[in-house]
Structure 1
Amino acid sequence: MGLYRAIFRYTGMAALATTAKAVGIYGALFFGALVLFKWDGVPRSVGLIQPMLFLLLVGASRALARIWLAGNTARSRQWEGRLLIYGAGDAGVQTASALAYGCQFALLGFIDGDPAKIGRTINGLDIISPSDVREAVESMGVTDILLAVPSLGRMRRNEIIASLRGLPVHVRTLPGMADLASGRVTIRDFQELDVEDLLGRAPVPPDQALLARNLADKCVLVTGAGGSIGSELCRQIVFEKPRRILLVEHNEFGLYTIHRELEGLCQENKLAVEIVPLLASVSKLGRLREICQKYRPATVYHAAAYKHVPLVECNPSEGVLNNVFGTLNMARAALESDVEYFVLISTDKAVRPTNVMGATKRMAELALQALAGSRTIDFEELDRRPSIVTPNRTVFAMVRFGNVLGSSGSVVPLFRRQLHEGGPLTVTHEEVTRYFMTIPEAAQLVLQAGAMAHGGEVFVLDMGQPVRIMDLARRMVQLSGLTVRDESNPTGDIEIQVTGLRPGEKLYEELLIGDNPEPTAHERIMKAREDYVQWEKFVTVLASMRHAAEQNDDTQIRSIFGEYVHGYGRRELACGDATVA
């Protein structure tokens, strides 16, 4: 039966079952021999008693060997932490089994809110009530708590995280059990709490009909496809089964990465979607025209932009050429090839901006609003030469939202890196607040908003309540099992430093210029009422702005912003060694 091949220190139920099977076969043969040969002085009851004793001795010897060997291994281990598992269900028990063979954590017990489980044990480990967690942490020296409650809803999950926030423990979450079982991840891959946990707000499930309306069996083009938002748009789009998706990206490595990822998704999910990687810059109108004329996309999502506020503040001309005229170039190429829908990914920083980046995004919005409001488009004044009047058959729309958690340059990856390095965490101002949304939720809402467009709308995503960045920093420190070092706790682990507002940065972000946004068919999408300038007048403004940008005339650029971008704040902002007005 191969019992001699088993490794005693890892002996479990499978080995015990094999032992029982072997002894059962032996017992049947032994009892049969007693009945058949009828040996004198040997009662037939021996045929039952002896195999039972044999099973006890064989099983007990192996169990004792396992306990002794496992005990020696445990005593020699250098534990990385002392762990409680929150959740005594299937996921928690499977994780405990995986931990038994690991070398990182000493498992001390389970936490569960089910009254039927509290006070009982699993493999000798107690199940305690959530109300007793604080006492258990102090008495047992717990360093880590692992959430193993995959079936819980977001609201209940957030309540659990909030209850653990004040404890000196590192709170983490469980990898997928399929990954754990297949060996793709190990116990070392316990994950930090995801951005939804930090946000504390449950995403709204998408409307599948809206998602697929402008995507299914169509050719879809995404600019900035290698960026944080652009790449997530591509991931969401590919699952709606378009005929073809065009990835327009200026960064070679970013394009290579998203192209490979999407090909893998299509192969894994058996999706018949053609993925076309296209190296191109939105500043080159000819290249964009060539792409649109060749592939004839039905829907365009324009996510390409310079978005880092301090960098654009120091380079306003490049910000204008990329964010304003890159958008206009893509819009012109779309008009000339009769694209059905053109959706601009905008930002809350376009509302009463105090920075160049926000002002460029608002100018891009104004340009698209002007295009949407005109039946025929003439670019003669902008090109300084006669041009063909283009009939407008394209529906233009803009979707405006705030910060996305986890994107490049986002505060959450920055804080995690600073925590890993031992601090300090840097916050620009104690009172600075931001709206936040996860990347997948933002991308889904962009796709749904674009499907509701009729022409010229500025859609605004409901991002819930703004989050105070100082509170987010404190929350991340506490959930890492550390304490904040401040005046009230000078011996804390991590300091939070206030560095001062960066060039062009606002304390508070807004989503609306006007008031009274209109509701839409989706509870998280509103429609803003924003004034704009008619194309016949605005094209002259664009011509002046492009001339100023090409001449690197920052003063003239800011003067145009001050005249046409509502609420643009002109103030002295330090930018490196220079000072910009």
Structure 2
Amino acid sequence: MEFRTRLMTLMSIDSLIVFFSIYMSYFLLSASPMIPMAIIVSSVALFVFHHLFAYYFRLYQRVWSYASIQELSAIFKAVTLTIIVVGLILMVSFQGFFVRTLAITWMLHILLIGASRFSWRIYRDKKLINRDKQKRTLIIGAGNGGMLVVRQLVNSETSELNPIAFVDDSPTKQHLEIMGIPVQGTTKDIHRIVEEAGVEHIVIAIPSLSKDAMNRIFKECSKTEARTQIMPSVEDIMSGRVEVSQIRDVQVEDLLGREPVELDTVKIAGKLTGKTILVTGAGGSIGSEVCRQVCAFQPGKMILLGHGENSIYSIELELRKSFPEIEVITEIADVQDKERMIDVMKKHEPHVIYHAAAHKHVPLMERNPHEAIKNNVVGTKNVAEAADLSGVGSFVMVSTDKAVNPTSVMGASKRITEMIVQYMDTISETKFVAVRFGNVLGSRGSVIPLFKKQIEYGGPVTVTHPEMERYFMTIPEASRLVLQAGAIAEGGETFVLDMGQSVKIVDLAKNLIRLSGFSEDEITIEYSGMRPGEKLFEELLGKNEVHEEQIYPQIYRGKTPPVNIQVVFELVGEFDSMTAEKLRERVLDIAHFRVDRLRHLSVVK
């Protein structure tokens, strides 16, 4: 209905209600068939002032199919003020207030105006939405989040979900009704309620839910056959990125990890805003997310450096679209080419470098140790020395928990890159730091995409060992740590995130199977045996590196062990001539300080 037609319809209805209310009130209280002048004047005054106050309180602009307490409040104010003004007119003109007549008029006025408006919502709820075809839905959480979800589902003509019950752990909400929907128990009763009420769908509507609580609730939900989903975070809703109606499936990221690290935005902004920032490996999982988060701080220039043209092109397009005001420059280059690194640094003169370029796949690097050294060790040395020559302010290198007591070529190569970074900090004006991660959920080569593909193919899901455990973090969280480390760095540190409890890989596989809508009977788990270079348990800090105090919430600083950089430089000069087995033995010896020459350390910092 067009606005003008809608306006005329509502004004006509209101006019009839105004005249009906005043004359009905008079006839209810008076036996006389004659209508006095006071009543005639009252009806005209009611007509005029009702429309004036209706316009002021925007009664004709509201969408009544979504009417709520705010609309009822507007009706009350408009009608009450109209009656008060008419009463004052009667007092002045006729020396009488006609209290009983105006009181009944007020009641009829509110009743009929409210009924005319709320009937739209009643009609819409009852007629336009066929609840019989919707899935019976249990809402977990009867707080603000749950009410937002229910209101959206009830008001949506296209929703496939019909909320029929709440569960909430608050004892004060038990046996109550919220928006006409009963609270039927706590999260411990989920299985019972699903069975008794024929629930087909579950929505977890607690945006502030902790990871532990999410795990506990999801385990209860997974005991049923109902599909489980989760509402978006309040932050995403308020920012406009998503709507309440965009309920999504529970992801493995919702069940793993710990509460996210909060950034010191003031310090980070001081390092990044208006500055030239360079990211190596900018097309990778971590590198691309670092680019996104850096751009949120409005750098003056963003340099994307990477070897793979397709991935660099992809992140370039994304950043140009999301941050059109930032100058985004791409450099297709290989970190193994030292002269090219020097040229890039001199050309752009970056203030901060985030070095994320690396080979990280453990079994592949076991089979190709020379490539691990060329890309990880030589590449880091090249970028670090180029940064020093160009007077870069800060250099932050992405490392890994596999660098602690390494058993693989990849882990040992990253431990050696940490040595290079620590050494460079002692001879350069540039602040050099390293940041250690655990496993990053969803990154390329990680276990999550592998498990998802295996589930997609019908299984089995292969786990190397039933006792294997890993620390996990999300890509955005890993990238936040990189930014925060660069902001608080003094030089030479190795930063480590407090990653909470490690997670068994087999439990991760079971969660993914359940999240995919299968049972362990349908998708089986097979144990394939540990691969070369793998450990059952990862560590975040070696025994000689531990600082017990946090230097920032959830961030630790590792002690810097002594470094003999000479053996590292010798490795760089000699590794091409070594056999794969000899090279593997050599890098592990250096990483563990087992080489005879390391007995007489040339100690620095």
TM-score bracket relative to the smaller structure: 0.7 to 0.9
The structure-2 alpha-carbon separation of the partners of 1:469 and 1:178, relative to structure 1 and needing over 3 Å to count, comes to: closer
The letter of the residue matching 1:323 is: N
Taking the aligned partners of 1:346 and 1:228, their CA distance within structure 2 comes to: 14
Confirm or deny: 8 A CA contact 2:541 2:558 kept in the other structure: no
What's 1:558 paired with?
A: 584
Query: Are 2:347 and 1:318 aligned?
Result: no
Q: Deviations over 1:128-149 (max 9, x none)?
A: 2214322101212324321222
What's 1:440 paired with?
A: 476
Query: Are 2:15 and 1:25 aligned?
Result: yes
* TM-score, normalising length: structure 1: 0.76
The structure-2 alpha-carbon separation of the partners of 1:454 and 1:103, relative to structure 1 and needing over 3 Å to count, comes to: closer
Q: Which runs of 5+ in 1 are unaligned?
A: 7-14, 376-391, 486-492, 569-581
The structure-2 alpha-carbon separation of the partners of 1:4 and 1:214, relative to structure 1 and needing over 3 Å to count, comes to: closer
What's 1:353 paired with?
A: 406
How far does residue 274 in structure 1 lie from its aligned partner after superposition? 2.8
What's 1:219 paired with?
A: 276
What's 2:341 paired with?
A: 288
Query: Are 2:455 and 1:399 aligned?
Result: no
The letter of the residue matching 1:467 is: V
What's 1:198 paired with?
A: 255
Within 5 A, what are the aligned runs for 1:339-488? 339-373=392-426, 375=427, 392-419=428-455, 422-478=458-514, 482-485=518-521
Which one of 558, 565, 570 corresponds to residue 534 of structure 1?
A: 565
Q: Deviations over 1:437-477 (max 9, x none)?
A: 22222222223333444443333332222111112223344
SS at structure 1 position matched to 2:272: coil
How far does residue 210 in structure 1 lie from its aligned partner after superposition? 4.3
Within 5 A, what are the aligned runs for 1:170-209? 170-175=227-232, 189-199=246-256, 201-209=258-266
The structure-2 alpha-carbon separation of the partners of 1:42 and 1:285, relative to structure 1 and needing over 3 Å to count, comes to: farther
Confirm or deny: 8 A CA contact 1:347 1:400 kept in the other structure: yes
The letter of the residue matching 2:293 is: Q
Larger-Rg structure:
2
Query: Are 2:544 and 1:515 aligned?
Result: yes
What's 1:126 paired with?
A: 182
Q: Deviations over 1:357-377 (max 9, x none)?
A: 22222232233334344x4xx
How far does residue 482 in structure 1 lie from its aligned partner after superposition? 4.6
How far does residue 282 in structure 1 lie from its aligned partner after superposition? 1.0
What's 2:533 paired with?
A: 504
How far does residue 70 in structure 1 lie from its aligned partner after superposition? 4.3
SS at structure 1 position matched to 2:479: helix
SS at structure 2 position matched to 1:521: strand
Identity %: 39
Taking the aligned partners of 1:240 and 1:546, their CA distance within structure 2 comes to: 42
How far does residue 322 in structure 1 lie from its aligned partner after superposition? 1.1
Within 5 A, what are the aligned runs for 1:10-49? 22-28=12-18
Moved more, 294-303 or 176-185: 176-185
The structure-2 alpha-carbon separation of the partners of 1:103 and 1:28, relative to structure 1 and needing over 3 Å to count, comes to: closer
The letter of the residue matching 1:139 is: E
What's 1:381 paired with?
A: none
Taking the aligned partners of 2:14 and 2:413, their CA distance within structure 1 comes to: 81
The structure-2 alpha-carbon separation of the partners of 1:20 and 1:132, relative to structure 1 and needing over 3 Å to count, comes to: farther
Confirm or deny: 8 A CA contact 1:316 1:356 kept in the other structure: yes
How far does residue 430 in structure 1 lie from its aligned partner after superposition? 0.6
Confirm or deny: 8 A CA contact 2:212 2:255 kept in the other structure: no
What's 1:86 paired with?
A: 140
What's 2:574 paired with?
A: 544
Q: How many residues align?
A: 520
The structure-2 alpha-carbon separation of the partners of 1:567 and 1:417, relative to structure 1 and needing over 3 Å to count, comes to: farther
Q: Deviations over 1:164-210 (max 9, x none)?
A: 45444433211357988999868885323345531252123223344
Confirm or deny: 8 A CA contact 2:359 2:376 kept in the other structure: yes
Q: Deviations over 1:262-302 (max 9, x none)?
A: 334435xxxx5432222222122222111100111122111
How far does residue 433 in structure 1 lie from its aligned partner after superposition? 0.5
Q: Deviations over 1:469-511 (max 9, x none)?
A: 11222334445665323xxxxxxx4322222223432221122
Confirm or deny: 8 A CA contact 1:158 1:200 kept in the other structure: no
Taking the aligned partners of 2:24 and 2:233, their CA distance within structure 1 comes to: 55
Taking the aligned partners of 2:171 and 2:368, their CA distance within structure 1 comes to: 62
Taking the aligned partners of 1:56 and 1:510, their CA distance within structure 2 comes to: 66
Which one of 90, 101, 104 corresponds to residue 160 of structure 2?
A: 104
Higher relative contact order (CA 8 A, sep 6+): 1
Taking the aligned partners of 1:174 and 1:2, their CA distance within structure 2 comes to: 34
The structure-2 alpha-carbon separation of the partners of 1:286 and 1:399, relative to structure 1 and needing over 3 Å to count, comes to: same
Confirm or deny: 8 A CA contact 1:445 1:525 kept in the other structure: no
The structure-2 alpha-carbon separation of the partners of 1:176 and 1:152, relative to structure 1 and needing over 3 Å to count, comes to: closer
Confirm or deny: 8 A CA contact 1:302 1:342 kept in the other structure: yes
SS at structure 1 position matched to 2:289: helix
Taking the aligned partners of 1:216 and 1:338, their CA distance within structure 2 comes to: 19
The structure-2 alpha-carbon separation of the partners of 1:61 and 1:199, relative to structure 1 and needing over 3 Å to count, comes to: closer
The letter of the residue matching 2:282 is: A
Taking the aligned partners of 1:61 and 1:329, their CA distance within structure 2 comes to: 73
How far does residue 543 in structure 1 lie from its aligned partner after superposition? 0.3
SS at structure 1 position matched to 2:345: helix
SS at structure 2 position matched to 1:245: strand
SS at structure 2 position matched to 1:242: coil
The letter of the residue matching 2:158 is: G
How far does residue 321 in structure 1 lie from its aligned partner after superposition? 1.4
How far does residue 344 in structure 1 lie from its aligned partner after superposition? 1.6
Which one of 323, 327, 336 corresponds to residue 274 of structure 1?
A: 327
Query: Are 2:320 and 1:241 aligned?
Result: no
Taking the aligned partners of 1:244 and 1:361, their CA distance within structure 2 comes to: 29
Confirm or deny: 8 A CA contact 2:257 2:499 kept in the other structure: no
Confirm or deny: 8 A CA contact 1:430 1:470 kept in the other structure: yes
Q: Which has the higher helix share?
A: 2
The structure-2 alpha-carbon separation of the partners of 1:330 and 1:119, relative to structure 1 and needing over 3 Å to count, comes to: same
